[in-house]
Amino acid sequence: MDKYYLGNLQELEEFCNLYFPLITNYSRSILGVDLSNNTFEGDHLGIQTSSHEEYTHYYNLLSSYMSHNFTNDLHGRKVSIFSFRDEFVSNDISLKGVEIFEPKPNVDNGKIKLGIEHISIIAKEYDKTFENISRAFINKSAEYPEGRFFKTKFTNLVEIEFRDRSLIKKDT
Protein backbone atom coordinates (compact mmCIF):
# COMPACT_ATOMS: atom_id res chain seq x y z
CA MET A 1 0.00 0.00 0.00
CA ASP A 2 1.19 3.46 -0.79
CA LYS A 3 1.20 5.85 2.15
CA TYR A 4 -1.09 8.87 1.85
CA TYR A 5 -0.59 10.37 5.31
CA LEU A 6 -3.89 8.92 6.44
CA GLY A 7 -2.62 6.27 8.86
CA ASN A 8 -3.93 8.26 11.80
CA LEU A 9 -5.16 11.75 12.57
CA GLN A 10 -1.72 12.98 13.64
CA GLU A 11 -0.13 11.96 10.31
CA LEU A 12 -2.88 13.74 8.43
CA GLU A 13 -2.43 16.87 10.57
CA GLU A 14 1.34 16.86 9.97
CA PHE A 15 0.84 16.55 6.22
CA CYS A 16 -1.76 19.33 6.14
CA ASN A 17 0.59 21.64 8.05
CA LEU A 18 2.83 21.44 4.96
CA TYR A 19 0.19 21.12 2.25
CA PHE A 20 -2.28 23.85 3.22
CA PRO A 21 0.20 26.75 2.84
CA LEU A 22 0.69 25.58 -0.78
CA ILE A 23 -3.08 25.74 -1.25
CA THR A 24 -3.48 29.24 0.17
CA ASN A 25 -0.43 30.62 -1.67
CA TYR A 26 -1.47 29.12 -5.02
CA SER A 27 -5.04 30.29 -4.57
CA ARG A 28 -4.01 33.85 -3.72
CA SER A 29 -1.08 34.35 -6.13
CA ILE A 30 -2.25 32.37 -9.18
CA LEU A 31 -6.05 32.28 -8.97
CA GLY A 32 -6.55 35.63 -7.25
CA VAL A 33 -8.71 34.01 -4.57
CA ASP A 34 -8.17 34.80 -0.89
CA LEU A 35 -9.32 31.70 0.99
CA SER A 36 -9.21 33.59 4.29
CA ASN A 37 -12.19 35.62 3.03
CA ASN A 38 -15.34 34.48 4.84
CA THR A 39 -16.97 33.56 1.53
CA PHE A 40 -14.86 30.37 1.43
CA GLU A 41 -14.77 27.39 3.75
CA GLY A 42 -12.92 24.10 3.59
CA ASP A 43 -14.89 20.96 2.81
CA HIS A 44 -12.79 17.85 2.20
CA LEU A 45 -9.61 16.26 0.87
CA GLY A 46 -10.06 13.92 -2.12
CA ILE A 47 -7.89 10.79 -2.06
CA GLN A 48 -7.32 8.75 -5.24
CA THR A 49 -6.43 5.12 -4.47
CA SER A 50 -4.64 2.82 -6.91
CA SER A 51 -6.95 -0.23 -6.69
CA HIS A 52 -10.04 -1.73 -5.09
CA GLU A 53 -7.77 -3.37 -2.50
CA GLU A 54 -6.13 -0.07 -1.59
CA TYR A 55 -9.52 1.65 -1.47
CA THR A 56 -10.76 -1.05 0.96
CA HIS A 57 -7.63 -0.63 3.11
CA TYR A 58 -8.15 3.15 3.40
CA TYR A 59 -11.90 2.74 3.87
CA ASN A 60 -11.20 0.55 6.93
CA LEU A 61 -8.44 2.84 8.16
CA LEU A 62 -10.55 6.02 7.94
CA SER A 63 -13.44 4.20 9.62
CA SER A 64 -11.22 3.80 12.69
CA TYR A 65 -11.02 7.57 13.36
CA MET A 66 -13.74 9.17 11.22
CA SER A 67 -17.48 8.73 10.71
CA HIS A 68 -18.58 7.09 7.43
CA ASN A 69 -21.25 9.22 5.71
CA PHE A 70 -22.03 7.27 2.55
CA THR A 71 -20.64 5.33 -0.41
CA ASN A 72 -21.76 5.83 -4.02
CA ASP A 73 -20.93 4.16 -7.29
CA LEU A 74 -19.73 6.94 -9.60
CA HIS A 75 -18.41 6.24 -13.11
CA GLY A 76 -17.99 2.54 -12.30
CA ARG A 77 -16.01 3.00 -9.10
CA LYS A 78 -16.68 3.27 -5.38
CA VAL A 79 -16.52 6.73 -3.80
CA SER A 80 -16.87 7.10 -0.02
CA ILE A 81 -17.27 10.17 2.15
CA PHE A 82 -16.11 10.37 5.77
CA SER A 83 -16.51 13.21 8.28
CA PHE A 84 -14.17 14.20 11.08
CA ARG A 85 -15.54 13.44 14.52
CA ASP A 86 -14.00 16.66 15.86
CA GLU A 87 -13.17 19.91 14.10
CA PHE A 88 -10.10 19.60 11.88
CA VAL A 89 -8.18 22.86 11.35
CA SER A 90 -4.72 23.43 9.91
CA ASN A 91 -3.24 26.76 8.81
CA ASP A 92 -6.62 28.47 9.18
CA ILE A 93 -8.35 25.98 6.85
CA SER A 94 -11.05 23.89 8.48
CA LEU A 95 -12.08 20.61 6.85
CA LYS A 96 -15.28 18.66 7.32
CA GLY A 97 -14.04 15.34 5.94
CA VAL A 98 -12.27 13.10 3.45
CA GLU A 99 -13.43 11.56 0.16
CA ILE A 100 -11.74 8.39 -1.08
CA PHE A 101 -12.25 6.85 -4.50
CA GLU A 102 -11.16 3.87 -6.52
CA PRO A 103 -9.64 4.39 -9.97
CA LYS A 104 -12.09 4.41 -12.86
CA PRO A 105 -12.32 1.07 -14.69
CA ASN A 106 -9.48 0.38 -17.15
CA VAL A 107 -7.54 3.51 -16.15
CA ASP A 108 -3.73 3.54 -16.41
CA ASN A 109 -2.50 4.21 -12.85
CA GLY A 110 0.50 5.99 -14.32
CA LYS A 111 -1.84 8.69 -15.61
CA ILE A 112 -3.72 9.50 -12.40
CA LYS A 113 -2.68 11.45 -9.32
CA LEU A 114 -2.49 8.89 -6.52
CA GLY A 115 -2.91 10.04 -2.95
CA ILE A 116 -4.26 13.45 -2.06
CA GLU A 117 -5.67 14.48 -5.42
CA HIS A 118 -7.57 17.64 -4.46
CA ILE A 119 -8.83 19.85 -1.71
CA SER A 120 -12.45 20.88 -1.91
CA ILE A 121 -13.43 24.41 -0.93
CA ILE A 122 -17.00 25.65 -0.62
CA ALA A 123 -17.45 28.96 -2.43
CA LYS A 124 -20.44 30.70 -0.85
CA GLU A 125 -20.46 33.00 -3.90
CA TYR A 126 -19.93 30.13 -6.35
CA ASP A 127 -21.00 31.91 -9.56
CA LYS A 128 -18.85 34.95 -8.79
CA THR A 129 -15.83 32.75 -7.97
CA PHE A 130 -16.28 30.76 -11.19
CA GLU A 131 -16.52 33.93 -13.28
CA ASN A 132 -13.47 35.55 -11.67
CA ILE A 133 -11.02 32.68 -12.22
CA SER A 134 -9.32 32.59 -15.60
CA ARG A 135 -10.45 29.65 -17.78
CA ALA A 136 -6.75 28.93 -18.33
CA PHE A 137 -6.67 27.54 -14.77
CA ILE A 138 -9.92 25.54 -14.87
CA ASN A 139 -9.64 21.87 -15.80
CA LYS A 140 -13.22 20.67 -15.36
CA SER A 141 -16.66 21.83 -14.30
CA ALA A 142 -19.80 19.78 -13.71
CA GLU A 143 -23.23 19.73 -12.14
CA TYR A 144 -24.63 16.74 -10.25
CA PRO A 145 -27.56 16.23 -7.88
CA GLU A 146 -25.00 16.79 -5.08
CA GLY A 147 -24.20 20.24 -6.46
CA ARG A 148 -21.99 22.14 -8.85
CA PHE A 149 -18.20 22.20 -8.83
CA PHE A 150 -15.19 23.17 -10.87
CA LYS A 151 -11.62 21.97 -10.52
CA THR A 152 -8.46 23.86 -11.20
CA LYS A 153 -5.66 22.34 -13.25
CA PHE A 154 -3.12 20.39 -11.22
CA THR A 155 -0.29 22.91 -10.76
CA ASN A 156 2.60 22.92 -8.26
CA LEU A 157 1.11 19.93 -6.38
CA VAL A 158 -2.24 21.71 -6.00
CA GLU A 159 -5.69 21.01 -7.41
CA ILE A 160 -8.62 22.87 -5.87
CA GLU A 161 -12.21 21.78 -6.31
CA PHE A 162 -14.56 24.71 -5.69
CA ARG A 163 -18.09 23.55 -4.79
CA ASP A 164 -21.39 25.33 -4.27
CA ARG A 165 -22.20 23.12 -1.26
CA SER A 166 -20.64 20.55 1.01
CA LEU A 167 -20.47 16.83 0.28
CA ILE A 168 -19.99 16.10 3.98
CA LYS A 169 -22.93 15.28 6.24
CA LYS A 170 -22.17 15.86 9.91
CA ASP A 171 -23.52 13.48 12.53
CA THR A 172 -26.23 15.11 14.60
pLDDT in tens, 60-118: 999 999 999 999 998 889 999 999 998 899 988 999 999 999 999 998 988 888 888 99
Give residue limits of the domains in the chain.
Answer: 1-30+42-118
Q: Does domain 1-30+42-118 have CATH number 3.10.180.10?
A: yes
| Helix or strand run (H / E) with residue 97 | strand 93-101
The answer on pLDDT for 40 being more than 70 is: yes
Instruction: Say what the pTM is.
Output: 0.91
- Pair 169, 83: CB distance under 8 Å: yes
Q: For residue 172, what pLDDT band results from cuts at 50, 70 and 90?
A: very low
| Across 38-54, average pLDDT | 94
Task: Decide: residue 89, CB within 10 A, 0-12 exposed, 13-18 middle, 19+ buried.
Answer: middle
